[in-house]
Structure 1
Amino acid sequence: MTTENPEPEAKRVKIAGPAVLNSNECINFHLLQKTNGAVTFVDGGLFPPEMSHQLFDEEEITGYEDLHIDVYFTPAFQTLLDIHFEGEPARGATDLAAPLKETFCAGFFEKKEDFDRAFEVEPPLRTENFGKPLVSADTTQGTTINILHSNLATSAEPIRQIHARIQPLLLFFVDAASAIDSTDPAWDLLLAVESSPDGTCQVLGFATLYHFWVFPDRQRVRLSQVLVLPPHQGRGVGSLLVESAYKVTDERNSVDITMEDPTDDMQRLRDKMDLKRMLAAEWPQEEAITCLKNALTSGGKTTAIEDGASGVSGSKANADRASSPLSASPECLARLQKDLRLSRQQASRMWEGLLYAIAVPQGVPATAAVEGMVQAALEAQVAGAKKGSEGKKLVETASGFVMLKSKSKGSAAALAAPGAVPVEGVSAEQTREAIRQAVALRVDEMRRLIGLPTVAGDDGDEEEDDDDNEGEQAEQDET
C-alpha cells in the first residue's frame, strides 16, 4: 500500500508596501556662515528636528528610498530646500512639496546655484539694525549676547524678514506652535543675537510677546513663543530672553506677565527669574523671614489638616489656611503682584519658594513648617472642591490647582497622574496618599529652584542656570 504525498499548498507572494520613514530622521538643518570669505558651518550647526508632526502625520513619510531633506540657512535665514532620494517615488507617496512650501512660506530656494548667488551678496548682519537693546551679557569668546526689542508691525524690513524666515523652525521644536500675524501691532519681537566687536552679529534665537488690553487703561504681557536654536542652547540665552520680557513689562507698567501652558523647564526658568527679582526687592525676603520666625515661635504649626480628605468643610479649611503664620497676607500678595508683575497664582507659588529658600539654612524644623503650609494649601483646596465634584480630581499646574473630570471614577488611572488629587469616588486614605505625593512633588520643585537635589522625583534632575534647551509656546493664560 502506498501513501501519496499531498501536493504542497502554493505559497502566497508577499508584496512589500512602500517604505515608511521617520520624518524626523529624514530632515536636517544646516546653519551656514562666512569665515574669511569661505562658507562654513556654524559650530554645532547641523541638527535634526525634535518633531515634524505638523508637516507629516504621525511623523511618517512613505514611498521614498534613502530620503534626505536638507534645509540650509544663511545668517539672514535665506533658505535652501534640498530634497534627495533614490529612484522614483512609489505610488501614493507622501506629498513633500505642499507641507514644506506651506511651512517655509516666506520663500526658499530650490536650486543651489541661486542660493549660492544670494548668499554671496548677502551683507553681514549688524546689531544696530535689529531693534532696541534691552539686556546684554559678555561671553568668554570676546563677544556679547544682546537681546533686541522691536514691534513687529512697525519694525524695519530686516527685522520682519528675519522673523518671517526663522519662524518656521518653531514647528520643528515647539509642540502646537503656529505662525503669528506680524501685522498685528500687539506683537513684539525679542531677538537674541551674538555681537562681535566689529558690530556684526549672528542670530541665536527669539521670543514673541503679545500685549492684551486690561480695563481700564493697562496691559498684560504674554510671553508666547521662545526658541533658542540648538547650537546656542545652554549658554543662558533663554534666561536673557525671559529677563528681557520682564523688562518690557516693567517699562510699559503692565499689570503682569504670563506664560501660556509652560513646560516644566520653562516654568523652572521663570521661577528662578522671579525668585531673583524677589530677593533683589528685599522687602519680600524681610516679610518671609518674619513669617517663618513667627511660625517657628508658635511651634511650627501650619494648620495642616490631618483629616482634610474626609470631611473638613471648605470654609473651615480655608479659614485654617489663612490663619497660618506662614501664609502671605492679602496685602503682601497684592504687592508682589504689583511690584514684580506676577499673576495671583504665580505670586502664591513664589511666596512658597521664597519661604523654602529661607528655611533650608535653618534646618528641618523650618523646612517642615513650609512643607506643612504647602500641604495645608492643597488640603484646603481639596476640602473646598468636594461639594458637587463627583468623579473629578485636582491637578497641580504651574498656575495653581485645577479641577479635571476623571473618565473612570476611582480607577488607578485617576490616581496615576503626577500631582493629581481625586476629590470624589476614592477612599479617604487614597486621597491622603495622593495629597502626600502632590506635596512631595511640590517640595521637589522648590528644592530644584534653589539648586538642591530632588527627593521624591526619580529623575534626579539638577537644574542648570541655563534652562533654555527647548522652544516654548503656550496656549492658556494664567489669570
Structure 2
Amino acid sequence: MGQKHQQSTDSTSDSKKKRRVAIAPIVGSKDEAEAGTGYQIDPLDLNHFFDDDGKIYGYQSLKITIWVSSVSFHVYTDITFESSSDRGKGITDLKAALQDMFAENIVEKKDDFFQTFTIEKHYISSVISKGEVLLQNTTDGNGHSHADTTDTQVIRFVMGDMTAGLLYSRLVPLVLLLVDGSNPIDVTDSCWEMYVIVQKIADPEGDQSRLLGFAAAYRFYHYPDTLRLRLSQVLVLPPYQQKGYGRRLLEILNNAAMSESVYDLTVEEPVDSLQRIQYYIDVPRLLTCSAVQSAVDTAATHLKEANLSKRTESSQLLPPLTAVNEVRKSLKINKKQFLKCWEILLYIALNPVDKYMENYRIYITDQVKASVIGKDTGTKGKQVIDTPNDFGEDAFVMYKPQDCEDGHVDVDVLDEDQKKQQEQQLLQIVDERVKEIQLVAQKVSTTQA
C-alpha cells in the first residue's frame, strides 16, 4: 500500500506498451490548466481499467492525457490518435472506460473543466468545516519539526456521513491511479475513517483550503472489548510529496491510537517508502521506552561478547514478551512492526563498532532466513503456514500432507548450483536489509542529536 512507482519513458518501448499509458498533469489553477502546465505524472499504467485482458485495440499512436484538478478533483481527459481501425478485435470504447474510471468526476468539455476552478474554489474549505480537527504537537519531542505545520490541519471524517462519502468519491480516481493494490473503501461503513491533511490559502474572496493528502483507516473489533486501527490507504498528492505531510498523517494516526485506547495500530502491506517513514516515527518513540531500552542493552551486550560464527544454532536475541506487550499498550506499535524496529535499535546500540558488525550481520542473516525460508516448527511431518484474515489478527494453519508416511516429508534436494543461487539470493537480501537499517539508524541518530 502506498504511492505507485513511476515508470520512466522508454523510446524503445513497443507500440503496445505505449498505448497502455497516460500522462496525468495535476493542475491547481485555471491558468495552469489553460497553459497546459501543472505537475506532470508520466506515465501511468491503465491496463487493468480496460476490459478483462487490459488491452486497448484499434488505435494508432494513441495518447491519453488525464487532467486532474487539485482544487475540486474534477477530471478532463484528452484523447488523441492518428487513426483507428477494426483489425478483428474491435475498437476499444475509450470514453466509456474512462467514464467508468472517473464517474461523476469527469467533465466532458474543456471549458467546463476550466470553470470548475472558479465555481468550486471553496469546495475543500466547505467540506472540512464539517469534520473533526485533530491536534498534534508540531515537533518530534526534540525540537525537530518535520513539516511546515503553521498553516496545515488534519481533519478526521467518519464514513457513513454524506459529506465524507462525497469527498472520498472525488478522491477515488487518484487512489486507483496512484496507490498500489488499492480498492475503494465502503463509504457507508462507519468503521472507516478518513484523515485529510489540508493547507490554508489566503484569498481576498474568503478562506480557501488545499487538500495535500489523506489516509483511510479501519477500526476492527478485537476480543473482548477493544478495537484495532488499521491504516489501509495513504496518499500525499504528487506536487506536495517530500515535504513531511505523509509523516504528519502517520503521527496523527499514532496520536489517535494512543489517546483513544485502541489495541494497536497496523498498516496494510506498506510499500518501502511508507515503511521507512514508519521507522523514522517509531524508532525514536521506542528509544524513550525504558522496557525496550533495557531489553536492547541486554541483547546488545550479548552481541558484543558472543562469537556467533561458532554457534551451533540460530541466534534469536528477540525482545522479551514483556517488552512486546509494553510497547503495544503504551505506544500502540504492533508486534510485527516492533520486531522490524528491534533490528534498528540493536544496530544503534552497537554504535556501530566494526568488531561487533560480524555478529550483527549473522543475527540479521538468521532473521532473514527465518522470514524467507521459514522456521522449524518442531512438529515432525507437519507444516505451518501463515493465513491472512479480515480481523487484523495473526493466524496460522497446521497441516500434515496426505503423502506423509511415518512422519516423513519428502523435500526436493537442491543441487550445487541451486544451493549457490539460493545463498547468493540470501546474501543479497541481507545486504539490502543491512543498508536499509544503516540508512534509518543514521537518520534517526541525526535527528536525535
Same fold (TM over 0.5): yes
Partner of 1:67: 62
Q: Following TM superposition, by how much is the alpha carbon of 1:280 offset from its aligned partner in structure 2, in angstroms?
A: 3.7
Partner of 1:77: 73
User: In the alignment, which of 337, 345, 349 is matched to residue 346 of structure 1?
Assistant: 337
Distance verdict in 2 for CA 1:161–1:148, change over 3 Å: same
Q: Summarize the alignment of residues 183-332 of structure 1 with structure 2, pairs less than 5 Å apart.
A: 183-196=188-201, 199-281=207-289, 283-293=291-301, 295-296=303-304, 299-301=305-307, 306=311, 308=313, 321=316, 326-332=317-323
Distance verdict in 2 for CA 1:258–1:113, change over 3 Å: same
Structure 2: how far apart are the matches of 1:336 and 1:117? 52
8 Å CA contact 2:165, 2:188 repeated in 1: no
Matched, 1:334 2:325: yes
Structure 2: how far apart are the matches of 1:354 and 1:364? 16
Matched, 1:370 2:360: yes
Distance verdict in 2 for CA 1:377–1:145, change over 3 Å: same
8 Å CA contact 1:27, 1:69 repeated in 2: yes
8 Å CA contact 1:61, 1:94 repeated in 2: yes
8 Å CA contact 1:51, 1:59 repeated in 2: no
Rg larger for: 1
Q: Which amino acid aligns with 1:426?
A: L
Comparing 140-149 with 426-435, greater Cα deviation is found at 426-435
Q: Following TM superposition, by how much is the alpha carbon of 1:356 offset from its aligned partner in structure 2, in angstroms?
A: 0.9
User: In the alignment, which of 28, 46, 53 is matched to residue 40 of structure 2?
Assistant: 46
Partner of 2:414: 426
Partner of 1:10: none
Distance verdict in 2 for CA 1:446–1:244, change over 3 Å: same
Other structure's SS at 2:62 match: strand
Distance verdict in 2 for CA 1:67–1:43, change over 3 Å: closer
Partner of 1:179: 184
Other structure's SS at 1:226 match: strand
Other structure's SS at 1:211 match: strand
Partner of 1:133: 134
Other structure's SS at 1:71 match: strand
Q: Percent identity?
A: 25
Structure 2: how far apart are the matches of 1:307 and 1:285? 28
- Give the gaps of 5 or more residues in structure 2: 1-14, 139-144, 387-392, 398-410
User: In the alignment, which of 120, 123, 128 is matched to residue 122 of structure 1?
Assistant: 120
Q: Which amino acid aligns with 2:42?
A: P
Other structure's SS at 2:351 match: helix
How high is the TM-score relative to the length of structure 2?
0.73
Structure 2: how far apart are the matches of 1:373 and 1:24? 45
Structure 2: how far apart are the matches of 1:262 and 1:230? 18
User: In the alignment, which of 129, 144, 157 is matched to residue 150 of structure 1?
Assistant: 157
Structure 1: how far apart are the matches of 2:165 and 2:287? 37
8 Å CA contact 1:221, 1:249 repeated in 2: yes
Which whole-Å deviations, capped at 9, do the CAs of 1:169-207 have from their partners, x for residues lacking one?
122222322111111111111112222356422112211
Distance verdict in 2 for CA 1:113–1:337, change over 3 Å: same
Partner of 1:417: none
8 Å CA contact 1:136, 1:144 repeated in 2: no
Asked which structure has the greater RCO (Cα within 8 Å, sep 6+), the reply is: 1
Other structure's SS at 2:232 match: strand
Q: Which amino acid aligns with 1:105?
A: A
Structure 2: how far apart are the matches of 1:226 and 1:360? 34
8 Å CA contact 1:336, 1:342 repeated in 2: yes
Q: Which amino acid aligns with 2:435?
A: D
User: In the alignment, which of 18, 31, 47 is matched to residue 27 of structure 2?
Assistant: 31
Other structure's SS at 2:199 match: strand
Other structure's SS at 2:174 match: helix
8 Å CA contact 1:133, 1:147 repeated in 2: yes
Comparing 342-351 with 125-134, greater Cα deviation is found at 125-134
Structure 1: how far apart are the matches of 2:329 and 2:37? 43
8 Å CA contact 2:27, 2:33 repeated in 1: no
Distance verdict in 2 for CA 1:233–1:59, change over 3 Å: farther
Structure 2: how far apart are the matches of 1:215 and 1:120? 50
How high is the TM-score relative to the length of structure 1?
0.69
Which whole-Å deviations, capped at 9, do the CAs of 1:247-301 have from their partners, x for residues lacking one?
22223211111122222222222222210221244552344234424653xx234
Structure 2: how far apart are the matches of 1:195 and 1:280? 34
Partner of 1:443: 434
Q: Following TM superposition, by how much is the alpha carbon of 1:340 offset from its aligned partner in structure 2, in angstroms?
A: 2.1
8 Å CA contact 2:22, 2:46 repeated in 1: no
Structure 2: how far apart are the matches of 1:67 and 1:195? 39
Distance verdict in 2 for CA 1:374–1:107, change over 3 Å: closer
Which whole-Å deviations, capped at 9, do the CAs of 1:191-248 have from their partners, x for residues lacking one?
1222235642211221110111010111111111112222112112221222222222
Other structure's SS at 1:328 match: coil
- Give the gaps of 5 or more residues in structure 1: 1-18, 309-316, 404-422, 453-463, 466-479
Structure 1: how far apart are the matches of 2:83 and 2:428? 56
Q: Which amino acid aligns with 1:328?
A: P
Partner of 1:108: 106
8 Å CA contact 1:143, 1:195 repeated in 2: no
Q: Which amino acid aligns with 2:188?
A: T
Q: Following TM superposition, by how much is the alpha carbon of 1:162 offset from its aligned partner in structure 2, in angstroms?
A: 2.6
RMSD, aligned CA: 4.0
Q: Following TM superposition, by how much is the alpha carbon of 1:364 offset from its aligned partner in structure 2, in angstroms?
A: 2.3
